[in-house]
Amino acid sequence: MAFNENFTWGVATASYQIEGGADADDKGLNVWDVASDTKGRIFEGHSGRVGCDHYHKWKEDVALMRSLGVKAYRFSVNWARLIPAGTGRVSEAGKKFYLDLLRELKAAGIEPWLTLFHWDYPYALYQRGGWLNPESSDWFEKYAKVCAELFGEYVSRFILINEPECFVGLGHYSGEHAPFLKLSVGDVARAAHNVLLACGKAEKIIRKTCARPVKIGTAQAYWPALPLTEGDVGAARAHTFACRAYFGSPALWLDPLLKGKYPQDYLAWFAENGFVPPAEDMEIIKSRLDFCGLNTYSGDLVKEVGGKAVAVVPPPSVPKTDMRWNVLPQAMYYGPKFIYERYGLPVVYTENGVALSEWKDLNGEINDDSRIDFLKRYLRELHRAAQEVPVEGYFYWTLYDNFEWAEGFSKKFGIVHFDPETRERTPKKSAHFYKKVIETNGEEIFG
């Protein structure tokens, strides 16, 4: 009942959510630093400027992961820490920080999975128009080249961009995330197109720059439609990839990258809003990816009515997490199947986890039994999927409680408790459970 023998077990984090050190050395500002400084942007005025102080505690954090038996670590590079102005001069301090981290991981036998961009966009580039600037994909290409040159010796898996659905959709359309813009559909489509160009250029430059073969993938915010009954599978599949006049469908991102074309419904929606993607860009966007990274927390229940998917409100018996997301473990079964059927690429769960309202007991323990239960339920469904389609790995989101964007520190996803006052890290009961899951290559989830 174990997973495949080469299955990768890891934990994931992101630079802005854990690093802190916002003004350390010559680091440049990014859009989330600015949001943290702006009143009313973040829950109860929380700030990521000190974050979990990983910038100073990285050694301790690698030791923590090692003690948990973690095999792989997914983290991201803070672009403006490495290149303060977003383009041009590389910071010696930034370079040293990531090289020290990578060397420490290597010594601990932990495989680094490096995400190039997890939302902390350099503020200097934002002031030049950000993702709307026609040069934005070239800036990203140059940044990717620097990362490949400096870190390619240590990194065998690169993830290009984390959840474009969110930083484009929430950041540029609905205005819930930095840079808190509410642009027109046409302008957001232009920004999305530049993000896709950036991915295509980065994929090519990384392969060209790295001396040894590397694997390159994405990390999609993937919230599949889920069939209410077996008879609703076709409708759920179609709904998962449909445009639905929003920027969250995986097809908007993965069709251009993997098939070299936008889905018809997106082309129509964009054209109605005055944007026609230049045909000659599609060859640049089209990429050779090695795996499809998925970040899944839940899904949307649907049933088929007259050949169409209709949303179903989950019954009140379905538990909700502290994010008010429905606990629907079958997302881990249908999700990878839908992706593999459409794109034929192996799947990696680059994120999955649960936020719970919990605290340290008087005796200093965090008995997060519901997180253990969540892990068992979601991983059993993933195991079921892995019997049918290639699934290469699973990264729990996240190592320790951290800065959950506009929610600040109020949402706790970690298997390790983090105290923002003392900055102390304390493994929760689920950390010990996850360690056993890794040791048994998954068998522990059936216990």
Closest distance of CB 432 from ligand NOJ, Å: 22
136 versus 402: smaller Cβ distance to ligand NOJ: 402
Confirm or reject binding of residue 351 to ligand NOJ (CB under 6 A). Answer: yes
Closest distance of CB 300 from ligand NOJ, Å: 16
Confirm or reject binding of residue 161 to ligand NOJ (CB under 6 A). Answer: no
Closest distance of CB 47 from ligand NOJ, Å: 16
Closest distance of CB 398 from ligand NOJ, Å: 7
Q: List binders of ligand NOJ among 359-398 (CB under 6 A).
A: 397
Closest distance of CB 290 from ligand NOJ, Å: 20
192 versus 210: smaller Cβ distance to ligand NOJ: 192
Confirm or reject binding of residue 253 to ligand NOJ (CB under 6 A). Answer: no
Q: List binders of ligand NOJ among 406-445 (CB under 6 A).
A: 413
- The footprint of ligand NOJ on this chain (CB under 6 A) covers a number of residues equal to 9
Confirm or reject binding of residue 295 to ligand NOJ (CB under 6 A). Answer: yes
Closest distance of CB 295 from ligand NOJ, Å: 5
75 versus 140: smaller Cβ distance to ligand NOJ: 75
Of the listed 351, 358, 392, 444, which one is catalytic?
351
277 versus 353: smaller Cβ distance to ligand NOJ: 353
351 a catalytic residue:
yes
Q: List binders of ligand NOJ among 12-41 (CB under 6 A).
A: 14, 17
Name residue, tokens 């459409």: 342
Confirm or reject binding of residue 163 to ligand NOJ (CB under 6 A). Answer: yes
Of the listed 19, 141, 163, 165, which one is catalytic?
163
Contact string 117-156 vs ligand NOJ (x = CB under 6 A): ----------------------------------------
Contacts with ligand NOJ by CB under 6 A lie at 14, 17, 162-163, 295, 351, 397, 404, 413
Active site residues: 163, 351
